[in-house]
Amino acid sequence: MFTASFPAIQSAIKITGDGGGMRIQLDVPEIDLLNALHVIAMRQQAFKVTIEPIGIKQVESDRTISRTAAKRRKQ
């Protein structure tokens, strides 16, 4: 299990026009990267997704961690 949020971009959720479904993008904070890495092993298979909302303060905190870490990487 790991926390994630939709990125603040317009294309975070895409719905196909041909009835093929939907594509979503997720932002995973750096603190949860190790927990999320197992998703890479599932690239060639279908899997079940469960989404459970968490408090707004927690999501904002996770985004802050992610942005701060990103700034450190650029330096």
Report pLDDT digits (tens) over 47-66: 899 999 988 665 555 555 55
Please give the residue range of the domain that contains residue 30. 10-74
Which value, to the nearest 10 degrees, does the dihedral of the CA atoms of residues 62, 46, 24, 20 take? -170
The answer to the question of residue 1 being in a domain is no
What is the domain count for the chain?
Answer: 1
Euclidean distance between CA atoms 11 and 48, whole angstroms: 22
52 closest CA partner among 15, 4, 12 = 4
- Compute the radius of gyration of the chain from its Cα atoms: 14
Residue-level pLDDT at 56? 65
The answer to the question of residue 34 being in a domain is yes
Q: Strand, coil or helix: what is 13?
A: strand
Whole-structure pTM value: 0.63
Q: In the predicted model, is pLDDT for residue 43 greater than 80?
A: yes
The answer to the question of residue 2 being in a domain is no
Euclidean distance between CA atoms 43 and 38, whole angstroms: 10
